[in-house]
Chains A and B, each alone.
Chain A
């Protein structure tokens, strides 16, 4: 009976792994944001599966998914704001050219 839960959790885990690879390997800011989006998608799949198959009586699980969606929207807004600022300043959003941001 736990097969459905396991299928959802495995999908979430693999999506998270792909997202980690993307966020660490890409040199472009927008592509890094895509990796973060995949990581958050993996987390959301797990949250919905936990709510649906383990605790459907408690709606905190769905609430948590809405919070993760908010984080996705905020990440996109701030990320694109930073991308525009970087593009205006140096004409590129390549993170290998962002060594001046080092502390």
Chain B
């Protein structure tokens, strides 16, 4: 339990440190990489908490997601390298206040609530995967199916929003994109 708490704290500090770095660097590619490292540290926390399936899933998913995000950053940002030193923030004081209040409220609940006894022994990895499979295809099947359909809908909606709008030209026989 002591080693688990130690490694949980180490990966927690890494996740927080890289999370802060996301908004402290001017370079957008560095921001995306910092978020990738932060999310990977979160995945490592899952592994330390003996949730192997979710930990590996988190690391694999975030590696792909953040690589795509870095490409989008370079495509869309006015100053992706951060060489111009542009300030890309607004309402800073309000944002810091909101962040501190949100974190403070969650910390207060974590410290003041009576969580009861902590379970020391986690189910074996194979057992977890088996039981999660039973949960997904049994009691939570409707939620699982809804999540799948939601992703499909989001993919279609995102593609529909992203493709250029086609309209007929004034002479009526030729399509032009806006």
Complex: A16 Cα to B98 Cα, angstroms = 11
For B8, the chain A residues whose CB sits under 8 A away are 4, 7-8, 11
A73 with B100: CB separation less than 8 A:
no
Complex: A85 Cα to B90 Cα, angstroms = 23
B35 with A37: CB separation less than 8 A:
yes
**What distance in Å separates the Cβ of A14 from its nearest Cβ neighbour in chain B?**
5
A18 with B12: CB separation less than 8 A:
no
A63 with B132: CB separation less than 8 A:
yes
Contact of A52 among B51, B91, B116 (CB under 8 A): B51
For A80, the chain B residues whose CB sits under 8 A away are 68, 72, 158, 162
B106 with A60: CB separation less than 8 A:
no
**What distance in Å separates the Cβ of A35 from its nearest Cβ neighbour in chain B?**
8
B161 with A13: CB separation less than 8 A:
no
For A96, the chain B residues whose CB sits under 8 A away are 90
For B160, the chain A residues whose CB sits under 8 A away are 81
Chain A interface, DSSP helix/strand/loop, else mixed: helix
Known: A20-B102, A37-B39, A74-B151. A25 touches B91 (CB 8 A): yes
A54 with B161: CB separation less than 8 A:
no
B90 with A25: CB separation less than 8 A:
yes
A4 with B147: CB separation less than 8 A:
no
**What distance in Å separates the Cβ of B41 from its nearest Cβ neighbour in chain A?**
9
Which residue of B is nearest A43, CB measured? B106
For B151, the chain A residues whose CB sits under 8 A away are 70, 73-74, 77
Q: Mark B114-144, 1 if CB is under 8 A from A, else 0.
A: 0111111111000010011011100110011
A10 with B116: CB separation less than 8 A:
no
Q: Does B107 sit within 8 A of A, measured CB to CB?
A: yes
Known: A4-B5, A31-B31, A41-B42. A63 touches B98 (CB 8 A): no
